Structure 1
């Protein structure tokens, strides 16, 4: 019966394929993370403190905008296609239209506003052109490449998704090495050209690989627009939160502290990829299992929670032990880097714990409550991080991280358990109501 939901196989034989898939998915993200870190290190060394600071600032703005590009349509594609492959042409067309429209708007707005705050090249026209080039690269092209990865995930083709992740990361590392080491690029303006070419080549490769899955049917799936926005808004607010502390620190501390903190944050994001590998692997399956109610996925989510906690702790320990070698990568000018990384690395544990609950809500289609929890957490986190960074930098910044992530654990799991209980009660009330109507 539909009300019983979809059951999933259990036991060692059923677990082995998932472990192998996670090993491949996790391995691809680890390779990707290492490549991204090397890219970051190359740019930090060759661009210098000032140029690297400008690059980080513009990239931070793009990181916020990229979550708005597409209006959250990618999640709709993964969720819907995982349940029914027949809707792929419609969901692909839906994604293309929303990504193209919103991407163009974001690039134009950014090209108008950002040149007033950042000078990347001499001359107004050239400066605007360089800013626009960076926005096209880091918003539109990044979104296209990530969309390709998500399409493969929706089709449970994790091997191809892993190739996209690893290939993209390696391509950026090669581009940075060629530009900076081989050709002596030392400005953001010059790097913007190399970065654009790299992203265009990767995007074309992804589009070529997607042709075998079918052509899009261009239409807007109206009922998925609110769901997509509910999914995207929390990530936008979270990106705002993640940059509030950087902005305040840049006003009240030295360039070295800001740069070291930026690298420490990048290390935290890299360590979370091991958890993200698990979440992206189980998302399609969770979408299928929870189609008839979130309570059907409850035991599955608990198993994912246990795995995510172990993985998060292992990632934190690994980063802590590897922190002393970072100055060899980034340079001795980053004197605060090791201490910052060792302090911040443990945040990945509560982050892993609450992300499991949020991913489960998303897979089951509960995007409104998911957006509420993540949105409120991000707004509160942004305010707390900004105030703490202003009042007691940088110790206050680190403390605010732990306070908000632990609070997110309580909020996320409280909401998740509420909807599990509600779906279970609704399922139990269904047969009783049917029997009552039959007796009448």
Structure 2
């Protein structure tokens, strides 16, 4: 694969193919992020403060639920298909079954519970219908679209994966512009219909795009069920971690501080896309190299670490320099925005460093260890962020962020090196080495 030329251990092929792949992958994520930011701005202006706050609440809940939808089956599709494309029909069927079952359960639970807390319409039945429609849109349909992106990544078709990312983001921006600017949509209930139609069309286009890769064979790959749960649980816990500080700040700080901090967090997530673009390229190849033991991927991981750190530093510098422009986009009411963004932007560096270790653990199939270190880090991080935000807002919030991410660097790399040593020792035993190769 062209994108792996410079990362295979012991090989020094030209860097240009990988660089071009990274630019395309990173460019697609950046364009997608910019389109999302524009969609965010359009909805914020046309829906108004009250309606937009409700939209954000539903979306936040959906962002947690979407990690449960599919029960982590997408990761095993990428990992297994990258190693053996003949297994694609089974892994696709496995994903469809789990996505449909878990998605239906999540929508039903949300439709039963959320109407007691969120009022999108004065009419009870309409309120339930709108909430249900938004859950189907932002959980099930989003999961289907992301699944197609992962299918292309599993087949090393990065160009098609990039088209999915950019196309979906642009489609949402066009839908928001048409709904709000052209047709004057000003309520969440009305926007929910537009959003649903947009996602249905995007999902149908994605399904059509993968029809040439083969039909699914409907079955449950039982050995991948726990692996999928191990993969998804850390993301759910991390979502809790990412909202603990915002929740506490909303109780003890002013609305301006909470708003500026939430925007700063969004900018941090956008800047991390430059690192995520690298991982998208590396993961399939890492899965193949580490099939016979994580120690085989050690040299590759070292090179990824250097690249990831350099990319994160560059991203932080860019955000720091461009921060004064943000009030022109979000408005002059965000008094603390520039300062908050500049204080938070450097967090991307430790995030990039520890993400290399967890991606390597995931690619090698060590999802239990990966889930444990990420899960415990998220739980401890949520507690620390909540306490620090309550005790000394907002300074305590920023300090806790750096403490958490640096601690994650130490924890994840300790676990990664432990399994490298473990696999190297196992490879030294003939019977264990043969078993590892057979299982890979």
- Measured against the shorter chain, the TM-score band is over 0.9
Instruction: Find the aligned partners of 1:184 and 1:254 in 2 and give their Cα distance.
Output: 31
Q: How far apart are the structure 1 equivalents of 2:81 and 2:388?
A: 43
The change in CA–CA distance for 1:42 and 1:429 in structure 2 (over 3 A counts) is same
1:104-253 equivalences in 2 (<5 Å): 104-253=104-253
Q: For the structure 1 residues 356 and 7, does the alpha-carbon distance in structure 2 shift closer, same or farther, using more than 3 Å as the test? A: closer
Matches within 5 A, 1:41-440: 41-430=41-430
1:437 — aligned with what? Answer: none
Q: How much does 1:67 deviate?
A: 0.4
Matches of 2:363 and 2:125 in 1, distance apart? 45
Aligned-CA RMSD value: 1.7
Matched residue SS, 1:408:
helix
Runs of 4+ with >6 A deviation:
431-434
Q: TM-score, normalised by structure 2?
A: 0.94
Query: TM-score normalized by structure 1?
Result: 0.94
User: 1:37-67: CA deviations, max 9, x gaps?
Assistant: 1111222222222222222222111111100
Work out whether residues 230 and 367 of structure 2, in 8 Å CA contact, stay in contact via their aligned partners in 1: yes
Post-superposition offset of 1:257: 2.4
> What CA distance in whole angstroms lies between the structure 2 residues aligned with 1:433 and 1:271?
41
Shift of 1:433: 10
Match of 2:438 in 1: none
**What secondary structure sits across from 2:272 in the alignment?**
helix
Q: Which secondary structure state, in structure 2, belongs to the residue aligned with residue 94 of structure 1?
A: helix
Structure 1 residue matching 2:418: 3-state secondary structure: helix
Distance 1:256 1:128 in 2: 32
Distance 2:205 2:433 in 1: 55
* 1:1-54 Cα distance to aligned partner (Å, 9 max, x none): xxxxx96572243x3222211111111111111111111122222222222222
Whole-angstrom distance in 1 between the partners of 2:143 and 2:428: 42
TM-aligned CA deviation for residue 255 of structure 1: 2.8
> In the aligned structure 2, how far is the partner of 1:431 from the partner of 1:105?
44
Equivalent pair of 1:148/1:206 in contact (CA under 8 Å): yes
- Measured after TM superposition, the shift of residue 334 of structure 1 is 2.2
**Distance (whole Å) between structure 2 residues aligned to residue 390 and residue 61 of structure 1:** 23
Which residue of 2 is the match for residue 10 of structure 1? 11
Superposed displacement of residue 152, structure 1: 0.2
C-alpha spacing 1:88/1:30, structure 2 compared with 1 (3 Å): same
Structure-2 separation of matches of 1:409 and 1:364: 19
In structure 2, what is the Cα distance between the partners aligned to 1:7 and 1:347?
A: 29
Per the alignment, do residues 43 and 335 of structure 1 end up closer, same or farther by CA in structure 2, a change over 3 Å counting? Answer: farther
Gaps of 5+ in 1: 1-5, 435-440
1:432 CA displacement:
11
Task: Please list every run of 5 or more consecutive structure 2 residues that lacks an aligned counterpart in the other structure.
Answer: 1-6, 435-440
Q: How many residues align?
A: 428
Q: SS of 1:215's equivalent?
A: coil
Q: Secondary structure at the match of 2:428?
A: helix
Given that residues 248 and 389 in structure 2 are in contact (C-alpha distance below 8 angstroms), is that contact kept between their aligned partners in structure 1? yes
Distance 1:313 1:44 in 2: 31
